[in-house]
Structure 1
């Protein structure tokens, strides 16, 4: 079932939570809404589900205006972060719940409901859990049951709000792969909310990056990772090193930088900001280098370094420890970005990123 959102806005008092959202989701597509807390992604999900209402805009699903429909008329399956299972019901009864509370005109016969539940138990690979109560299940098993309950009603759209947020890292990884397989087999149009970049990139056909009530960028994982559309997206995706540069004839120039590895950019001459990931910086020890090493830490596999440059410019780099050049505190270096993204204008004042927390630490402070 295709879904179209047009110029959707939502305010809470004087705060604009959604500021004119336009989005199209194809039938059978799996789309991730990715962004930090407060970006509006959960509000958008709730509006689609009928749990909240916009101040303006349109929501069309399968050619129908869903803003004319109540939540119970929309046939959405909703999976919450904390499962929301009924503790007094066995697994099979939790999965059947949405079917048993349908109005009489649409409610399937008891035998049909039982057959549907058995099919879903096998589809979700949990038939052995059918007669257990939620308290007897692990977090991952509860989330499978919650998904089964959402799928039981054959939803037009499946909505997932941080579905793995309450689970530990290994279970999250396992369930991500499992959910993708379930989606491919079921073919349900699916939208899920997450603040986890890895989760969104691994699962989704397309990723919608949201910030402060706006859509900043839409694309595949590779498109967004390789070509962030704005400084906001760049920062959110880990380009945490921001260096002021001057553009001249398509080249970025700054003291202490060797930008020979970066391609020319079709940008006007003038001030700009170079955004870099710490892992994309090569350090070249040089007596003439304009950056000074102020901190060195190790994780065993990686060296993490902090440096200070001209005009109080701060930079971080992350290097494979065994392949890194010999470096010491106070040493001067030139930075060679291997990959970077440039946006017009000077850097926005920001607080330095917190220090890394390596497994084992070799750390000294410059005096």
Structure 2
């Protein structure tokens, strides 16, 4: 099935949570809603599931208006971050629950329910856990049971809200790969919420980056990482250094920076902001440079350089320790080369301000 969200608006009191969201998800696609806390991604997922209702907008699934259907008739499978398993039921009973509570006319026969549960236990590789209770399971095992319960009803749409958020890093990595295999084996249409960039990019066919109730960018992982559409996306992707540059003939230029590696831009000539990840900056000794190393530190695998321009502007660079020249020490003057970055034209009001470089210090929770 495919779904289309059109101009979804939602507020809680005076707080606008979704501000006109448009999104289409194709049949069999796995899409991630990615963003910081408060971006509206979980609210959007709950609206699809029928657990929240928007103030306005449309939701069509295979051309049918789902806002005319209550949650129980939408045939969606929902997996929560904290599993929401019934502690007094065995694994087998938890998986069967969605089938057993269907109205009498739609409820499968007991033998068919048992057969479906048996299929899922094997598919999820947990048949040995069938008679255990949630309190006897690990976090990863509980998450598999929660997914089994969601899949039991043969959902048209599978929805997952931070499905691995309560698990440690090693288990999350294993379950991400496993979930991708499940998705491909079932051919389900899946939408999941996460704030973890690695999780979103490893799992999803497309990633939807959200901020403050709006969609900032939609696309595959490589496009979002290499060509962020907005300054927010660039910063969310780790571009924590922002430098003022000028655009001339489609090229970014700045007297004290080597910007020759940057591709041409179709932005108009004038002041611009260049947003860069610290790992995309390279340094070389250059005694006459306007930049110097103010401090050098290492966390073992990586070396961090705090840089300062002669006008007081600061920036940061980070290199793998094996790639860091040991002669680049505190006080050394350096040539600063930018290997990659995103260029954004400055708004008119900002463009009238002084054009010296500046470092952006913004924490995205």
Q: TM-score range by the shorter chain?
A: over 0.9
Gaps of 5+ in 1: 355-367
CA–CA distance in 1 between the matches of 2:199 and 2:5? Answer: 24
Match for residue 81 of structure 1? 81
Which 10-residue stretch deviates more, 310-319 or 130-139? Answer: 310-319
TM-score, normalized by length of structure 1?
0.93
Cα offset, 1:292, TM superposition: 2.3
Aligned match for 2:361, one of 352, 359, 363:
352
- State the aligned residue count: 354
Contact 1:208 1:218 in 2 (8 A): yes
1:128 — aligned with what?
A: 128
Contact 2:302 2:320 in 1 (8 A): yes
Query: Which stretch of structure 1 is more off in the superposition, 341-350 or 223-232?
Result: 341-350
Matched residue, 1:248: 248
1:134–1:142 Cα contact (<8 Å) kept: yes
Aligned to 1:163: 163
Q: How far 1:299 moved relative to its partner?
A: 2.6
Query: How big is the shift at 1:322?
Result: 2.6
Any idea what the Cα deviations from partners look like across 1:316-356, whole Å, max 9, x if unmatched? Answer: 111122332211112222210111110011599886368xx
Deviations 1:46-72 (A, max 9, x none): 000111000000001122111011111
Q: Distance in 2 between matches of 1:115 and 1:289?
A: 73
Structure 2 distance, partners of 1:312, 1:193, is: 41
Distance 1:123 1:24 in 2: 29
Structure-2 change in CA distance of 1:62 and 1:108 (3 Å):
same
Q: Which residue of 1 aligns with 2:335?
A: 334
In the alignment, the residues of structure 2 paired with residue 301 and residue 71 of structure 1 have an alpha-carbon distance, to the nearest angstrom, of 50
Mapping for residues 98-177 of structure 1, pairs under 5 Å: 98-177=98-177
Q: Give me the whole-angstrom Cα distance separating, in 1, the residues matched to 2:322 and 2:28.
A: 46
**Where do residues 17-36 of structure 1 align in structure 2 (5 Å cutoff)?**
17-36=17-36
SS in 2 for 1:208: strand
Q: Whole-Å Cα distance in 1 between the matches of residues 319 and 132 of structure 2?
A: 49
CA 1:179–1:284 in 2, change beyond 3 Å: closer, same or farther?
A: same
Residue 39 of structure 2: SS of its match in structure 1? coil
> Secondary structure, in 3 states, of the residue corresponding to 1:264?
coil
Q: Is 1:44 matched up with 2:44? A: yes
* Alignment partners' CA distance in 1, 2:271 and 2:96: 61
For the aligned residue pairs, the C-alpha RMSD in angstroms reads: 1.6
Residue 93 (1) aligns with residue 102 (2): no
Q: Which residue matches 2:179?
A: 179
Q: Aligned-pair distance for 1:232?
A: 0.7
Judge conservation of contact 1:101–1:107 (CA < 8 Å) in 2: yes
- Secondary structure, aligned partner of 1:215: strand
Q: Displacement of 1:246 after TM fit?
A: 1.3
Kindly indicate whether the alpha-carbon contact (under 8 Å) linking 2:242 and 2:358 is maintained by their aligned counterparts in 1.
no
Report the equivalent of 2:309.
Answer: 309
Comparing 297-306 with 165-174, greater Cα deviation is found at 297-306
What is the deviation of 1:312? 4.0
User: Within 2, Cα distance between the matches of 1:54 and 1:187?
Assistant: 29
Aligned to 1:4: 4
Tell me the distance in 2 between the aligned counterparts of 1:20 and 1:303.
43
Distance 1:117 1:54 in 2: 35
